[in-house]
Structure 1
Amino acid sequence: MKITRWFRKLWGKYGPARRLVIIEGDELPHDLPARDLILARDGGDDWSVGMRCPCGCGDR
């Protein structure tokens, strides 16, 4: 268990780069990816940005 937390902390700091993911629609998905920034676009207009809290609490 201790190694898992250590690995997650290491992966969070040095893991894959964060991405900007663009979705079409009028609402953000309920489950947001851990490291990505979500941009919602409706009819060609950008209207909302969402992400999960970087501290790990899971808030949107």
Structure 2
Amino acid sequence: MIALGLIGGLLYIGILGFWIVGKVGCFLDKGGILPYWDEEEEQHTCEQSKNTRL
């Protein structure tokens, strides 16, 4: 009975890990976190937000 619980727990951890790796993979495929500061993009975003407030 203990072996059944251990096997079930390992199966649960394996499925959960597979799901998390899939989500992280999709995130990285979409571009993930940019490793550099894009000042032009920030200025463009700030200008757009100022124009919408007027």
With the shorter chain as reference, the TM-score category is under 0.3
Structure with higher Rg: it is 2
TM-score (norm 1): 0.26
Q: Counting helix residues as a fraction of each chain, which structure ranks higher?
A: 2
User: Highest relative contact order (Cα 8 Å, sep 6+), 1 or 2?
Assistant: 1
User: Greater strand percent: which structure?
Assistant: 1
